[in-house]
Amino acid sequence: MKRIRYQRPSKVLLFFAIGLLCSCGDNAEKSPDTSSLYAFSHYGKTFSDLNDTHLSAAQSIGIEPVSSREEAEEMKGKLEEVKSNKYYQIDELTHSIPFLVPKAKDLLEDIAENMLDSLENKRIPAYTINVTSITRTKDDIKSLQRKNGNSSSNSAHLYGTTFDVSYVRFNQKPSSSWFGSEKKEEANTALLKSVLAQVLYDLRKEDRCYVRYEVKQGCFHITAR
């Protein structure tokens, strides 16, 4: 019977195997930790605050509706301008203006910062949120009604307390420093949506806001309390 000679692995193969094991270990360490994420089986049922609830809160802490942006700019102290920054991106607004009452602006900033903190804690690449609609003037409402006859003439957006945050679009930051490199790592939209929802859920439990899940608009409709 012919004996089979055992051959030692070459140094190249040995180093390759060690590198592969180390690589697997690094990936396991850096992979997202989703163990603390809430299981949202139905966003619409979880975030179901009615429009009347939003409107009541808006009227209690908000401004008197303004007719135009120029009028809003004169309301220093009551309204503060919001601008894109490292925490959130303001979309090109076509039917609203970038002004909020201080309490609502603070809420937006907390949502945005908590989102980034949560992503970091869960080892998920860094993404910022998109704000798609903010305060509407009376002129904005009239313009919307010309396009959509079902548009309400008394929206919570009129009072400077309400804004919409997209759950279908996020902005990836240039690098993910907590991944230990400058390489851009990606996260899927469903995961980012779940993290954002958890942030909103926690703030809602703290009585900071009311939230409604908007299907057609692809956003969370948020009003400060």
Amino acid at 114: N
Strands (E) located in the chain = 80-81, 88-90, 99-100, 127-133, 162-172, 209-214, 219-224
Residue tagged 């009072």 (tokens): 159
pLDDT score of 138 more than 50: yes
Q: What is the distance between the alpha carbons of residues 26 and 156, in angstroms, rounded to a whole number?
A: 48
Residue 225's contacts (CB-CB under 8 Å, 6 or more residues apart) are: 57, 61, 207, 208, 209, 210
Q: Which helix H or strand E contains 154, and what residues bound it?
A: none
Model pLDDT for residues 23-56, shown as the tens digit of each residue: 344 444 567 888 889 989 999 999 999 999 999 9
Strand partners of residue 100: 80
Amino acid at 91: D
Residue 64, helix vs strand vs coil: coil
Q: What is the pLDDT of residue 35?
A: 86
pLDDT score of 12 more than 50: no
pLDDT score of 19 more than 90: no
| More confidently predicted of 12 and 213 | 213
Sign of the alpha-carbon torsion through 144, 146, 147, 153? positive
Are 98 and 91 a contacting pair, CB within 8 Å? Answer: no
pLDDT score of 8 more than 70: no
Q: What is the distance between the alpha carbons of residues 139 and 95, in angstroms, rounded to a whole number?
A: 9
pTM: 0.82
Own/partner contacts of 13-22, CB < 8 Å, gap of 24 or more, are none
Amino acid at 44: G
Q: Where are the domains of the chain?
A: 40-224
Residue 87 sits at φ, ψ, to 5 deg, of -100, -30
Tokens representing residue 207 in the block: 């009585």
Residue tagged 């997209």 (tokens): 166
